[in-house]
Amino acid sequence: MRYVILRDDDTNGLTPVECLERLYRPFLERGLPVNLATIPKVQTNVRLPDGRPEGFLGACGPDARETVGIDENPELVRYLQRNPGYQVVQHGYHHSVAEFDSHRRAEIRERLERGTAVLLRAGFPRPRTFVAPYDKLSAVSLAAASRRFAIISTGWFEWRRLPARWWPAYLLKKFRHRAHWRVGNVILLSHPGCLLSFHRPCAAILPAIQEQVRRRRLTVLVTHWWEYFRDGRPDQAFIEVLHRTAAYLADQSDLRVIAFEDVLSGQVPLN
């Protein structure tokens, strides 16, 4: 049996319900869980290097508030709670640039705790999975997150950015060519890049996913809801690729789509 975790990044207090519904109804109807890496209290002034708003803001339209908590959007919260196929995991705090690429222990601890508090205040279960904005984590952030979460999902791991006490386990992971590994009680999951991305030709996306899934026991597929609605307009061809991916995942008898929480059962092989 092979396993796939679908991780959609950047749901936040400004995300339109209709965007998630249009993208993920085919997954929910097939019983395929969708793990939403959710920004607890998004900053509305995050900008790209060229000055444009970050994609997860540009797809939402302008807002005068400096920050918007997920708990400030009751329509979105109700929608997610009424559809248990959505699994909410914590995606940073504000999603500011280099938010967890920092060595300031007190600030890191405060951001982790405040982010969790916002999600709890919205009525979601305490998150046990953490995803850092831009997949950037310092050694200090990794150590702090590992004390509060059971799973850390990111793109890659570098020994220079790991706590020193993790180095032996990391070297063993490298020697064994493992994508996923453990340190103490925390599970560390990597992913093969953002395969579901508008930066890739639509015709190449599903074959790339199929190849990765064939090669791995557990594959984390990462996408971003706002990429399907750039500048507020739906990209129908890209949306159709996502829906074909749902059909492919559901139709494979030797493949199971799971939530991050399922990994904690101990019944899902990491590699």
What range does the domain containing 185 cover? Answer: 2-263
CATH number, residue 36: 3.20.20.370
Q: Is beta strand 67-69 parallel, antiparallel or unpaired with respect to 41-43? A: antiparallel
Kindly state whether residue 21 falls inside one of the protein's structural domains: yes
**Tally of domains in the chain:** 1
Angle at 263 between CA 12 and CA 111, to 5 degrees: 35
Residue 270 domain-assigned? no
* In-domain check, residue 154: yes
pTM: 0.95
- Strand 2-11 versus strand 255-258 pairing type: parallel
Query: What pLDDT was estimated at residue 59?
Result: 66
Residue 268 lies in a domain: no
pLDDT at 65: 84
Q: Is residue 15 part of a domain?
A: yes
Asked if residue 33 is part of any domain, the answer here is yes
What are the φ and ψ backbone dihedral angles of 221, each rounded to 5 degrees?
-95, 125
pLDDT for position 61? 67
Q: What span, in angstroms and rounded, lies between the C-alpha atoms of 183 and 52?
A: 39
Along the 271 residues of the chain, how does pLDDT read in single tens digits? 999 999 999 999 999 999 999 999 999 999 999 999 999 999 888 877 777 777 778 667 666 688 999 999 999 999 999 999 999 999 999 998 889 999 999 999 999 999 999 999 999 999 999 999 999 999 999 999 999 999 999 999 999 999 999 999 999 999 999 999 999 999 999 999 999 999 999 999 999 999 999 999 999 999 999 999 997 899 999 999 999 999 999 999 999 999 999 999 988 999 9
**Quick check: is 143 in a domain?**
yes
| The one-letter amino acid at 10 | D
